Structure 1
C-alpha cells in the first residue's frame, strides 16, 4: 500500500468527510414571529467552510444574515486576545432578542464562559462570568455551581453569592457524580469541572438535586507513567470511586429540592437508595410548570418508580412503577433519540399536561415502545398506540388535543430504524403519519404553532429540510445538503442488506461498504466494525451517520481495498422487547455475535466478491470486548482482530452498565460472559490497544486478556498509549496502526 493511496483514503476519516459536506447538520433556533436562525454553510476559494448565521422567515421564505460576522470576530479578538475567524465563530448561539440583538455565550482563553449581546457594532457583556460546570437558571440571571460537595448560588448581575448547602463533603456531597464514566481523570488533569447534578425548575423557583454518599464505595487506581507538563518524573497515582458488579456498597443517593428565594433545603422524604451510574436524577417539568417528574430505579434495573412533585403544595407522591421481568431500557446512549429534535431529554419520554390532566409516557411493557396515558386524578392508564417503536414525544397541542411523536419499525417502506413523524388525535384515537416518505425524518415544531420543519435523509441521500404547515401542506424547501466534494473524494454510499440470524428465522440487518473501484469479479478481504454493548444499534441509518465516527473507519478501509460490514444482531434495541431481551444474562453473545457469524455465508451468496476466508473484525470499548469473543469463538471465520479499550471482564467494569442486562450478581454467571478462559482457542492475529489513563474501561481488563494469552502461549500484539483516556478515535498513531494491521494481515 503506497503512501499516496493511504493519504487519499485518510481523506475520508470522519472529521474530514464531514468537512466535505455543506449543511449536513441542520439545527433551527426558533426566535418567535415564525422565524428561526440556522447556520448556513458554503466553501471559500480554498475549499474551507464558511459558516453564516441566517434568520429565516417561514411566512415568505426570505432569509437574511443575522449579524455582521466580521465585526463580531474582531470584537471577540479584543476580548480573547487571540485570532478569531469570522468563518467559524466560537460562540454558543442563544437567541435574537426583541431589540434584534444577538445573544450568545463565549469561552475565553481562561476557560471562563461569558455572555454577550451584540447590536451589530459593539459587545455588551451580560452579567458576570459563569463558573465552570455551573448550571444557569432559566432566565440566565443566576447560576448554581458545586465546590467540595456543596452547592452555591451566584447572582450574575450583582456577583452576590450564597451557600445553598453547608454540610456536604467531597465524598458525601450535593450534586456530585460517581466516577463510573469517562472523564474523571482527564477532567482532573485539565482542571475541568465534572457535570453537576443540579437542575432548575422551568419557573426558576426550585433547584432539584441529590446528596450522594461515596464513602463506602471502593476505588480503582490508574498510574500516569508519563506525566505531562511536570518537572517531576515520578509516575502519578490517580484514585477514584468506581462501583463494580456485586459490590456490597454502591453510592447512596437521597433526593432534595431547594427553594431558591428562601434558600431552603428540603429532602423529598424518600430516603436513600443505591445507585450505580454516574448521575441519578431524571427531572422534567409539566407543561404549565406546576409539577416536576423524577424517577428512582432499583439496582437490578427492573423497577423504575415514578414520582411527581407538586410545586404549589410542595409535596411528592409516588405515581406509578415501570416494571420489567428482565430490564427497563433507559437509553443511555440516546439511541432511541438519534437526531435529537426535542431539547429537554426527559420530555422526549413524557409530556405532563395540567390542562388535559394527563401524563403521556413511553413504555416497552407490552413488547414495543408505545404511548400510555395516565390520568393525574385517579392514576388510571390507557394504551394509545400498539406495536409502535416510539422514539420521541415531539409536541403536544393541548387546545386541539393532538399529540405528535415519531416512531420507527412500523412497516413503512424504509429501514427498520428510520423515524417518521405521526400525529395522534386524542379525541378519536386516530393516528396519521405526517411524512411517510422513505428515509429518516428529524422533525422540529415551531413554537408559534403553525409550521414544522422536516429534515429527511437516508444512508444514500443528503439531508433535505422542508417547511410544512401542520395541516400537511408543503410550503417550500429550506436547505439541502451538498456532498459534491465528498463524492469527488471517493466516498461510496453503503448498501443495506437483510439476512437470517443464527436461529434461521430472525431477519438481521446491516450495511456493506464497498471500495470505490469495486469489481464484482475480484475477491476482497472483509473487515467488520462491531460493538458488543446491548444499549445501542450500530449500522448507520442516515447520510451523516455514514460519515461519522459512529461508523468507525469503514469508509477509509473500504477505499483501501476492503469490503466493510456493520451488523445489528439480536440483543440490540429498537426492534421490540423480545429482540432486545436476547441479551439478558447473555452479554457474552456481544449483542448478536452468533447472528453476525451466520450472516457471512449469506452475504457471500449475495456478493461473491466477499472473500470470507479473509475476514477481520475490530471495535472499541464494548466492541473491543466483542472482538476478542469473535476471534476465539469463531476462529474459522475471523482471522484478524483489533480490540481497542475493551471491557473484557464484566466483573471489573462499571456496575452501572454491566448490571443493566443481568440478574443479580453471581461470580460464575459473570465470568461466563468473558472470553479470557477461551484464550487457548485464539488462532488468528490479535492486536490489543488501550489508553493507560482510561477511567471508563480500566486497562486491567485488557491486561487480564494479556495474562490469559501468555498462559496459553499465544502470540498477540499490544499497544498501550500513554496519557490517553477512553476515547482514542482521533489519535493519529492509533489510527495508522489499526488500519495497517488489517493491511498487513489481510492483504499480504
Structure 2
C-alpha cells in the first residue's frame, strides 16, 4: 500500500538527539525549509501589485496580480513580469549614517532577517527624527514591512546599541542583519529646529535654565521671566498653531538613580571598565513636570503656569508632557497617568487662563494598562475623540465629545478584545481594527480584522480562516492581503476586498513538506480548564522527531508570564529553541495562565501585586489535564525555564511549586521587583512600594528552594539590574542551598539565548531530567 506523503516522510525521520551537539545540529536542518509563505506586496497602482516568492532552497517566483479580478501571472525573474530584481543587502557591507525618513517615495517593501544569536528591535525613524518601536525579532526571525522609498529603519539590540540603519529603496529589499558593530545605511540628514514658531517669526530656547525668546525679524532676544523658584526649566517646547503662545515645562529637581555595571573583559582594553547608567527603580522620585504657558503680547511675554489640581502626581519619567494643541489655539491637551496607574486622564488646558478640565478619565481599583490600552484618535473636524478603554471589563472603543468631555457612543462592545486599530476613515466614519475572542469555537487569542461604524452599527468581521491574521493594505485600503496561520497550520495568503471581506483569490499556501521531512514535529494545540474549573487555558505541546507513544518523556515548560502580553505561539513557525530541546528527548510545553493579557480585565487582574502567581495554578492544571490522555508525558520529571520575567517565574516554580517542578533554569530574572525598572514594576505591583513587593521577592523566599536550580545572568545586563540575580545568589548561599550559577561575561539581557547560554541550559535540563 502506498503511504501518504507526510506518513512516508515521518517514517524516514532521524532518531532524536542523544547529545546537545546533535540537538543543535538538528536545529540547523530546519532553517529555510518553508516555502511560498512570505508575500510582501509592492503595489503598482490601486488595482495591481507584485511580489517575489521563495519556492525552494534556491528558487524564486515573481508574481503580478490584478486585484480587481484575482488574475495572477508569474515568471522566474522580475523581468518576466516587467519588474526589477530584488536586492539583498548585508549590513556588514555598508557604512553610512543614521538620519530621519524622507517623504514622497513610492511604496515598497523591506524584509529584515536576523542572523544574530540575540534578539533585535526594529524601529522606524519618522521625518521629524522621532523613533517608533515596531517589534522585537528573535534570533533567526524575520521582520517584513510595507514602507516607502526614503523611509529609514533602525535596528538596535536589546541594550539599545545601534546595529544598522537602512533606507528603503524603490524596489523590494532583503536585509541580512549579520553585524554586531554599528552599521549605517542611509541618506543625508536634514536637521530641523522644532522650537521655531509656525509663522517663522519666533525662536525659543532654554539656555542655562532660562527661557529665551528671539524675534527672528528684528534679531532681538528677550529673556522670559518664569518665576519658578525651586523648579527646573526644561525644553519640551510646543507652539500654538497660530504662534500666539508656546508651552514649556518646569520640573522638581530630583536625583536620578544610577546603577553601576562592571565590564570585566572589554574588547578594546585589558583592564575592566565601569559603566554607569540611569536606572530609576520602583518607588524612586519622579520629576513631576508642570506645563507653563507663555503668551506673546505687544509688550513683554505673559507667563501662566497650568493649574495642577487635576495632575498632582504624574507618573512620567520625562521632563515634560507631550502636548497637543487644538487647531484654534485656545486649548492644549496632555495625558495624566497618576502614579500607581489607577487613574488616567486626558486633560484640556485653557491657553489664556491655565485652567484645566477633564476630557477623558479612566479609573481602576487595580491598574490601567497605560502602555497598551490608552490609544486615541482625534477627529478634529467633528470635535470628537475615539478612545480605547477597558471600563466595561473588555478592551473596546468609545466616542467622546471633546468640548464637553462627555461620552457620545460606545462604538464596540462584547466579551471580546480589541487588539489594534488599523485605520480610521473620518469621512465615512468607520474604523478598521484587529480583535480577538470573537468566535467561541476558536482560540480566543486569534486576531481577526473587523470594521464598524463610529455609531456602533454595521459591525463586520472581514477575515475568515481559523488562525492568527496579519494584514497588508493596498495604498488606498480598497483591498487587503490576509496572511493567516496557526502553530499547527502553515500560512495561507488571501486577497480580500476591504468593504465586505469578500475573498478575491488565494494567493499562496505555504509548503512545509521540506521541514516535515527533517523529522520536525508539528506542534499540538491543547485546551484545558484552569484553576477555577471554567476558564479555558490554551497552550501547545511539542514532541521530539522520533516520538514514540509507547515511551515515556520528561516534560519541560517554557515560561514567560509577563502581564504585558500573552506568549504561547499563535502563528506558524519552526520554534527552534523549543524543538531543539525536544530533540534531547523532552516533551516541551507552553501555555498562558491567568494574569497575562488579552483575555479581558478579570483574567488579567490576577497579576495585580501578585507577580509570583504567574499563572502557575492554571498551567499546572493544564499540564496535568494533558497528561491524563497522554501517558507518554512523565509528570514525575518536570523542568521549567524562562528569561527576564520568565526567569523570575522559573525560580519561583522551585520555591512555591517544588512538588510539581523538579528542575529550573532562570535567566536574567527580575527576582525582586524593588530591584527592577520603575515603569514595568509599578505598572503591575503598584505605588507606593509596599509589603507586596517583599512578598513577591525570590530573594526573600530563597530558603524555600527545593530542586535543581541554574541561575544565569548577563554581566552587562542594562534591562534588569544584574544585582537582582546576585542578591538571590547571596540569599541562597546564606540559606545553605545547593544550586548552579553562571554569569555570562560580556553579555547583556537574554544571556541564555547566546550560544554558550543556550548550550548550558540544554545540558543542565538533560543532566537532571533524562535518565
What range is the shorter-chain TM-score in?
A: 0.7 to 0.9
CA contact (8 A) 1:401 1:425 kept: yes
CA contact (8 A) 1:624 1:645 kept: yes
Deviation at 1:645, TM superposition (A): 0.1
* Residue in 1 that maps onto 2:259: 220
Partners of 1:288 and 1:481 lie apart in 2 by 53
Establish whether residue 296 from structure 1 lines up as the match of residue 336 from structure 2.
Answer: yes
TM-score by length of structure 2 reads 0.72
* Residue in 2 that maps onto 1:652: 675
* Residue in 2 that maps onto 1:498: 527
Q: Select which of 614, 631, 651 maps to 1:608.
A: 631
* Residue in 2 that maps onto 1:21: 34
Q: Select which of 625, 640, 648 maps to 1:625.
A: 648
* Residue in 1 that maps onto 2:474: 446
Establish whether residue 243 from structure 1 lines up as the match of residue 270 from structure 2.
Answer: no
Deviation at 1:474, TM superposition (A): 1.8
Superposed CA deviations along residues 81-105 of structure 1, whole A, max 9, x for unmatched, are 9xxxx9989999999xxxxx95465
* Residue in 1 that maps onto 2:100: none
CA contact (8 A) 2:542 2:578 kept: yes
* Residue in 2 that maps onto 1:140: none
Q: Select which of 574, 599, 603 maps to 1:575.
A: 599
* Residue in 2 that maps onto 1:432: 460
Q: Label 1:473 to 1:559 Cα distance change in 2 as closer, same or farther (>3 A).
A: same
Deviation at 1:547, TM superposition (A): 2.8
Partners of 1:240 and 1:636 lie apart in 2 by 41
Deviation at 1:218, TM superposition (A): 2.2
Q: Label 1:279 to 1:729 Cα distance change in 2 as closer, same or farther (>3 A).
A: farther
Deviation at 1:685, TM superposition (A): 1.0
Q: How does 1:25-36 map to 2 (within 5 A)?
A: 26=39, 28=41, 33-35=46-48
Q: Label 1:31 to 1:238 Cα distance change in 2 as closer, same or farther (>3 A).
A: farther
Deviation at 1:650, TM superposition (A): 1.0
Q: Label 1:116 to 1:559 Cα distance change in 2 as closer, same or farther (>3 A).
A: closer
SS across alignment from 1:243:
coil
CA contact (8 A) 2:336 2:346 kept: yes
Q: Select which of 376, 385, 401 maps to 1:350.
A: 376
Partners of 1:134 and 1:373 lie apart in 2 by 35
* Residue in 1 that maps onto 2:188: 128
Q: Label 1:588 to 1:481 Cα distance change in 2 as closer, same or farther (>3 A).
A: same
* Residue in 2 that maps onto 1:386: 413
Establish whether residue 364 from structure 1 lines up as the match of residue 390 from structure 2.
Answer: yes
Deviation at 1:696, TM superposition (A): 1.5
Partners of 1:266 and 1:223 lie apart in 2 by 47
Bigger shift: residues 442-451 or 65-74: 65-74
Partners of 2:604 and 2:736 lie apart in 1 by 37
Partners of 2:243 and 2:435 lie apart in 1 by 33
* Residue in 2 that maps onto 1:410: 438
Partners of 1:283 and 1:737 lie apart in 2 by 49
Q: Label 1:327 to 1:569 Cα distance change in 2 as closer, same or farther (>3 A).
A: same
* Residue in 1 that maps onto 2:579: 555
Partners of 1:741 and 1:23 lie apart in 2 by 38
Establish whether residue 6 from structure 1 lines up as the match of residue 23 from structure 2.
Answer: yes
Deviation at 1:321, TM superposition (A): 1.3
Q: Label 1:297 to 1:467 Cα distance change in 2 as closer, same or farther (>3 A).
A: same
Bigger shift: residues 656-665 or 416-425: 656-665
SS across alignment from 1:686:
strand
Q: Label 1:274 to 1:217 Cα distance change in 2 as closer, same or farther (>3 A).
A: farther
* Residue in 2 that maps onto 1:584: 608
* Residue in 1 that maps onto 2:199: none
Deviation at 1:533, TM superposition (A): 2.0
Q: Label 1:681 to 1:119 Cα distance change in 2 as closer, same or farther (>3 A).
A: closer
Establish whether residue 694 from structure 1 lines up as the match of residue 694 from structure 2.
Answer: no
Partners of 1:24 and 1:512 lie apart in 2 by 23
* Residue in 2 that maps onto 1:710: 733
* Residue in 1 that maps onto 2:221: none
Establish whether residue 661 from structure 1 lines up as the match of residue 684 from structure 2.
Answer: yes
Partners of 1:57 and 1:294 lie apart in 2 by 46
CA contact (8 A) 1:174 1:212 kept: yes
Q: Label 1:446 to 1:222 Cα distance change in 2 as closer, same or farther (>3 A).
A: same
Deviation at 1:216, TM superposition (A): 1.5
Partners of 2:207 and 2:52 lie apart in 1 by 39
Q: Label 1:475 to 1:708 Cα distance change in 2 as closer, same or farther (>3 A).
A: same
Q: Label 1:226 to 1:685 Cα distance change in 2 as closer, same or farther (>3 A).
A: same
Q: Label 1:514 to 1:126 Cα distance change in 2 as closer, same or farther (>3 A).
A: closer
Establish whether residue 634 from structure 1 lines up as the match of residue 634 from structure 2.
Answer: no
Superposed CA deviations along residues 655-683 of structure 1, whole A, max 9, x for unmatched, are 21111123433442211011333333322
Q: Label 1:681 to 1:257 Cα distance change in 2 as closer, same or farther (>3 A).
A: same
Q: Label 1:517 to 1:40 Cα distance change in 2 as closer, same or farther (>3 A).
A: same
CA contact (8 A) 1:253 1:275 kept: no
Partners of 2:462 and 2:111 lie apart in 1 by 36
Establish whether residue 727 from structure 1 lines up as the match of residue 728 from structure 2.
Answer: no
* Residue in 2 that maps onto 1:515: 544
Partners of 1:460 and 1:198 lie apart in 2 by 51
Partners of 1:610 and 1:203 lie apart in 2 by 69
* Residue in 2 that maps onto 1:156: none
Deviation at 1:715, TM superposition (A): 1.0
SS across alignment from 1:676:
coil
Q: How does 1:48-63 map to 2 (within 5 A)?
A: 58-59=67-68, 61=71
Query: What is the CA RMSD across the aligned residues, in angstroms?
Result: 5.1
Partners of 2:193 and 2:485 lie apart in 1 by 36
Structure 2 unaligned regions, length at least 5: 1-17, 98-109, 115-121, 127-147, 156-161, 173-184, 197-204, 210-223, 296-300
Partners of 1:465 and 1:208 lie apart in 2 by 49
SS across alignment from 1:557:
helix
Partners of 1:539 and 1:204 lie apart in 2 by 51
Deviation at 1:710, TM superposition (A): 1.0
SS across alignment from 2:679:
helix
Deviation at 1:41, TM superposition (A): 3.7
Deviation at 1:267, TM superposition (A): 9.6
* Residue in 2 that maps onto 1:320: 360
Deviation at 1:428, TM superposition (A): 6.6
Deviation at 1:148, TM superposition (A): 12
Deviation at 1:298, TM superposition (A): 1.2
CA contact (8 A) 1:51 1:88 kept: no
Deviation at 1:461, TM superposition (A): 1.9
Deviation at 1:392, TM superposition (A): 1.5
Deviation at 1:354, TM superposition (A): 3.2
Q: Select which of 509, 528, 532 maps to 2:557.
A: 528
* Residue in 2 that maps onto 1:162: none
Bigger shift: residues 476-485 or 610-619: 476-485
Superposed CA deviations along residues 227-254 of structure 1, whole A, max 9, x for unmatched, are 22125x1x2222222222223x124445
Deviation at 1:322, TM superposition (A): 1.8
CA contact (8 A) 1:351 1:393 kept: no
More helix by share: 1
* Residue in 1 that maps onto 2:106: none
Partners of 2:259 and 2:154 lie apart in 1 by 33
Partners of 2:171 and 2:719 lie apart in 1 by 45
Superposed CA deviations along residues 582-624 of structure 1, whole A, max 9, x for unmatched, are 111212212x122222333222102111101110000000011
Q: How does 1:178-197 map to 2 (within 5 A)?
A: none
SS across alignment from 1:527:
strand
* Residue in 1 that maps onto 2:315: 275
